[in-house]
Amino acid sequence: MTAIPLGVPRRLVEFTLDGREARVPEGSTILDACRAAGKDIPTLCEGDTLRPKNACRVCVVEVEGSRTLVPACSRTAEPGMEVRTGTERARHSRKVVLELLASSVDLSTTPRVAGWLKEYEAKPDRFGPEAARLNEEPRVDNELYVRDYDKCILCYKCVDACGDQWQNTFAISVAGRGFDARIAVEHDAPLTDSACVYCGNCIEVCPTGALSFKSEFDMRAAGTWDESAQTETTTVCAYCGVGCNLTLHVQDNEIVKVTSPYDNPVTHGNLCIKGRFGYQHVQNRD
Partner 1 sequence: MDLHFGDSKPTDDERAAVDALLGPPESSWEGADRSDADLRWARGGRAARDRRDLLLPGLHALNDRIGWISEGALDYLCRRLTVPPAEAYGVATFYALFSVRPRPATVLHVCTDLACAAAGAGGLCAGIEGRLRPGSGVSVQRSPCLGLCERAPAALAVKAGDPVRTAVSAPATVEDAVLAASAPDSAPAEPPAAMAVPQAGDPSLTLLRRVGVVDPSSLDDYRVHGGYTALRRAFELGPAGVIREVTDSGLVGRGGAAFPTGRKWQATASQPDHPHYLVCNADESEPGTFKDRVLMEGDPYALVEAMTIAGYATGAHRGYLYLRGEYPRALRRLEHAIAQARARGFLGDDVLGQGYAFDIEIRRGAGAYICGEETALFNSIEGYRGEPRSKPPFPVEKGLFGKPTVENNVETLVNVLPILTMGAPAYAAVGTARSTGPKLYCVSGSVDRPGVYELPFGATLGELLRLAGVRDGLRAVLLGGAAGGFVRADEMDIPLTFEGTREAGTTLGSGVVLAFDGTVPLPRLLLRIAEFFRDESCGQCVPCRVGTVRQEEALHRIAERTGAAAADDIALLREVGRAMRDASICGLGQTAWNAVESAIDRLGAYA
Q: Which is nearer to ligand SF4, 169 or 230 (CB)?
A: 169
73 interface partner picked from ligand SF4, ligand FES, partner 1, none, CB below 5 to 8 A per type = ligand FES
Q: Which is nearer to partner 1, 19 or 129 (CB)?
A: 129
Q: Which is nearer to partner 1, 95 or 268 (CB)?
A: 95
- Site membership for ligand FES, residue 58 (CB under 6 A): yes
Q: Which is nearer to ligand SF4, 157 or 257 (CB)?
A: 157
Q: Which residues contact 242 (CB under 8 A, 6 or more apart)?
A: 266, 267
Q: How far is the CB of 155 from ligand SF4 (least distance, A)?
A: 4
Select from 56-64, 186-194, 232-240, 261-269 the region that touches ligand FES (CB under 6 A): 56-64
Select from 182-190, 207-215, 228-236, 237-245 the region that touches partner 1 (CB under 8 A): 182-190
213 interface partner picked from ligand SF4, partner 1, ligand FES, none, CB below 5 to 8 A per type = none
Q: Which residues contact 113 (CB under 8 A, 6 or more apart)?
A: 44, 98, 102, 107
Q: How far is the CB of 192 from ligand FES (least distance, A)?
A: 31
Strand 82-84 relative to strand 12-17, pairing:
parallel
What sign does the dihedral 226-154-58-82 (CA atoms) show?
positive
Q: Which is nearer to partner 1, 62 or 216 (CB)?
A: 62
For residues 183 and 174, the answer to whether their CB atoms sit within 8 Å is yes
Q: Which is nearer to ligand FES, 44 or 113 (CB)?
A: 44
Q: How far is the CB of 74 from ligand SF4 (least distance, A)?
A: 13
46 interface partner picked from partner 1, ligand FES, ligand SF4, none, CB below 5 to 8 A per type = ligand FES
Q: Which of 100, 140, 250, 255 binds partner 1 (CB under 8 A)?
A: 100
User: What is the total count of residues that contact partner 1 (CB under 8 A)?
Assistant: 55
- Site membership for partner 1, residue 51 (CB under 8 A): no
